Amino acid sequence: MSSSVDAPPRKREILDSAVIRFCGDSGDGMQITGSQFTNTTALFGNDLATFPDFPAEIRAPAGTLPGVSGFQINFGTKDVFTPGDTVDALIAMNPAALKMNLADLRSNGILIVNVDNFKDTDLKKAQMTVNPLEDHSLDRYRLFPVELGKLTRAALRELGLDAKSMDRCKNFFALGMCYWLYNRSMDSTYRWLDEKFGKKPLLAEANKLAMKAGYAYCDATEAFQTSYEIPPAKLAPGFYRNISGNSALALGFVAAARMAELPLFQGSYPITPASDILHELSMFKEFGVMTFQAEDEIAAISSVIGAAYGGALAITTTSGPGMALKTEAIGLAIAVELPIVIVDVQRGGPSTGLPTKTEQADLLQALFGRNSEAPVPVLAAATPGDCFWIALEASRIAVKYMVPVIVLTDGYLANGAEPWRIPDPGDLAPFPVVFETEPEGFLPYSRHPETLARPWAVPGTPGLEHRVGGLEKQDGTGNVNYEPLNHEKMIHLRAAKVEAIVRDVPDVVPAGDPGGDLLLVGWGSTYGAITAALRAARERGRKVGHVHLRHLNPLPKNLGEVLKRYRKVVVPEMNLGQLLYVLRAKYLVDAEGFNKVQGKPFKQSEIEARIEEALR
């Protein structure tokens, strides 16, 4: 290895932002590599957004196209809203990864390729007949063919590891190269390796050596003439951490239970991409969190209804197929008016669909997917960090109004990460729950005059013995009642209760122009792409506004009026137009859809193009 004295003179270029993507076989550790680069970058103080993209199969046949796993990160000095449309630096571990990802690399972009994996057999697995490293097809990129495997093995020669274990470290060689390329410190990854391989110090050492070797390789070879610096972003003052949507939800529910002064109960069944919420909450036992891995999706929500009946803040987390199974039980929670929160981390469908890919096509299911008239409040998080706040908001609404609440996130929010300003618990608004205790005049279905909530009368309270259930209730007493007019009254009451929540829904204030030629209306994870596109369009002088809905039922009071302030309304969604359907029905507005259902988030450029088209 060479010392810095021998290093050729280098240029250091300062950039506003950069997008890099690690891609390789699902066994190549690309998600870990990407997460490590992300953590380091977050600690450095850049704003960032990530997009992990991996196959549903744990291990598709090695080297094949379906087995390709990727991790993209966009990091910058200014606000970063999306993982980036085009890639500035692509690290491809094999031909399949190159083939699947090259289209997103910009011209003259950096392309680091592991040449060790470009033998004829590797090319064949990727269904390639000619070696792209040899046919000049990569001439418009800055190609760096690196013998990642060979160099890694050379670096680890002394450790006495077997070939397979050495080979597993090559992603850290690539990571080390990227750290050099973007002038990042390796410290946080050292710490992570020590923690991760606490019981296997040899493996920690091997990965460290590989990473250092990658860094030194860039330092020593003349191949890399330029390294890049992306100075820290000017974020609002405070403490930050990097957070994914699923982690933020888990923290949000722990915080919500504290604010409600209730124990937290989670009943869930494993399902991609929601399982991480269960994994996280199961670690927080010191907060008294009860996590129950149920035998199926129905048992999960049923246990949650039971726990809520007993007075816990009770939540269940799932994805589309699980949501479908929970349908009947959500109806029960509506009928017995118990507060629960149901999180649907949406994924591609229908049926099993695309388990690891993102989509927004469960909105109508959340709004209407139950038998009879069964309205529930529906909330959607806009960013990974917003998942924390949406968990608090959903819990507060549930216990205040005694209703089940649905929270929609999606695979992109669940696994994507961003820097998150850590709130001070003292700044969170408490909403302590008061259970009913007074037997005198107690009626289980009496109503709070404002919220229309019924009292929360938990078992164990003397004198409050009463029966609840899914059969229609008599107003007030809660006794079983089949009278036509009582049924109609109860149908109206349950609807009015959900409508009443509108008082807690803030009016929308459009971003960008408060009125004008075009309004973009979005919800959920499209927030970043729409925001970035809006900024770009307004810089070009377009009169465009953006409303992003966090409350999808009830909708904000002033939404109808805001829609009228613009000549045109376009609704970008990762579905065939579900919010569009609601807006057209509710406000008789001639809104247009902009729809993408590819299991991938919108690109900024796609929305920008749609803005231009609308204004033409």
HEC profile of 168-237 = CCHHHHHHHHHHHHCCCCCHHHHHHHHHHCCCCHHHHHHHHHHHHHHHHHHHHCCCCCEEEECCCCCCCC
Give the nearest distance from C-beta 346 to other proteins in angstroms. Answer: 24
Q: Which of 98, 209, 304, 387 binds other proteins (CB under 8 A)?
A: 304
Q: Which of 131, 227, 446, 479 binds other proteins (CB under 8 A)?
A: 479
Cβ(166)–Cβ(156) under 8 Å?
A: yes
Q: Which of residues 121-160 bind other proteins (CB under 8 A)?
A: none
Cβ(281)–Cβ(289) under 8 Å?
A: yes
Residue 37 binds to other proteins (criterion: CB under 8 A):
no
Q: Which of residues 320-379 bind other proteins (CB under 8 A)?
A: 328-329, 331-332, 336
Decide whether 263 or 353 has the Cβ nearer to other proteins: 263
Q: Which of 235, 496, 576, 609 binds other proteins (CB under 8 A)?
A: 235
Q: What is the DSSP string of 109-121?
A: EEEEEEGGG-SHH
One-letter amino acid of 155:
A
Report the alpha-carbon angle 232-531-256, nearest 5.
Answer: 80
Residues 6 or more apart whose Cβ sits within 8 Å of residue 303: 265, 267, 292, 294
Decide whether 285 or 567 has the Cβ nearer to other proteins: 285
Q: Which of 19, 20, 23, 42 binds other proteins (CB under 8 A)?
A: 42
Decide whether 157 or 234 has the Cβ nearer to other proteins: 234
d(C-alpha 520, C-alpha 566), whole Å: 10
Q: Which of 15, 133, 223, 298 binds other proteins (CB under 8 A)?
A: 298
Decide whether 244 or 356 has the Cβ nearer to other proteins: 244
Q: Which of residues 417-476 bind other proteins (CB under 8 A)?
A: 422-425, 458-471
3-class secondary structure, 609: helix
Decide whether 384 or 593 has the Cβ nearer to other proteins: 384
Give the nearest distance from C-beta 360 to other proteins in angstroms. Answer: 28
Tell which residue, 393, 398, 391, 361, has the closest CA to residue 376.
398
Cβ(106)–Cβ(127) under 8 Å?
A: no
Decide whether 285 or 492 has the Cβ nearer to other proteins: 285
Give the nearest distance from C-beta 382 to other proteins in angstroms. Answer: 20
Q: Which of 89, 92, 254, 490 binds other proteins (CB under 8 A)?
A: 254
Tell me the pairing of strands 17-25 and 47-53: unpaired
Q: What residues are paired with 89 via a beta bridge?
A: 20, 110
Q: Which stretch binds other proteins (CB under 8 A): 18-26, 169-177, 279-287, 538-546?
A: 279-287
Q: Which of residues 211-230 bind other proteins (CB under 8 A)?
A: none
Decide whether 16 or 465 has the Cβ nearer to other proteins: 465
Q: Which of 311, 349, 524, 554 binds other proteins (CB under 8 A)?
A: 311
**Alpha carbon distances (Å) from 610 to 518, 534, 596:** 11, 11, 12
- Site size toward other proteins, by CB under 8 A: 72
Give the nearest distance from C-beta 45 to other proteins in angstroms. Answer: 6
Q: Which of 145, 306, 353, 560 binds other proteins (CB under 8 A)?
A: 306
H or E segment at 35? helix 30-44
Q: Which of 198, 237, 449, 541 binds other proteins (CB under 8 A)?
A: 237
Q: In what order do the strands lie in the sheet with 566-573?
A: 511-512, 544-549, 516-523, 566-573, 592-595
Q: Report which DSSP code applies to 435.
A: -
d(C-alpha 555, C-alpha 543), whole Å: 24
Give the nearest distance from C-beta 387 to other proteins in angstroms. Answer: 13
Q: Which of 54, 197, 284, 431 binds other proteins (CB under 8 A)?
A: 284
Decide whether 27 or 423 has the Cβ nearer to other proteins: 423
One-letter amino acid of 265:
F
Q: Which of 5, 58, 103, 236 binds other proteins (CB under 8 A)?
A: 236
Decide whether 254 or 490 has the Cβ nearer to other proteins: 254
Alpha helices for 372-465 (secondary structure H): 386-401, 411-415
Q: State the distance between the two ends of the chain, measured CA to CA, in whole angstroms.
A: 59
Give the nearest distance from C-beta 491 to other proteins in angstroms. Answer: 19
Give the nearest distance from C-beta 239 to other proteins in angstroms. Answer: 5
Q: Which of 74, 101, 117, 242 binds other proteins (CB under 8 A)?
A: 242
Q: Which of 59, 285, 540, 586 binds other proteins (CB under 8 A)?
A: 285
Q: Which of residues 161-220 bind other proteins (CB under 8 A)?
A: 188
d(C-alpha 547, C-alpha 540), whole Å: 20
Decide whether 468 or 615 has the Cβ nearer to other proteins: 468
Give the nearest distance from C-beta 253 to other proteins in angstroms. Answer: 12
- Angle 604-615/527-539 helices, nearest 10 degrees? 50
Decide whether 163 or 235 has the Cβ nearer to other proteins: 235
Give the nearest distance from C-beta 332 to other proteins in angstroms. Answer: 5
d(C-alpha 514, C-alpha 511), whole Å: 7
How many of the other CB atoms lie within 10 Å of CB of 187?
10
d(C-alpha 365, C-alpha 353), whole Å: 16
**Alpha carbon distances (Å) from 95 to 25, 35, 46, 417:** 10, 23, 31, 28
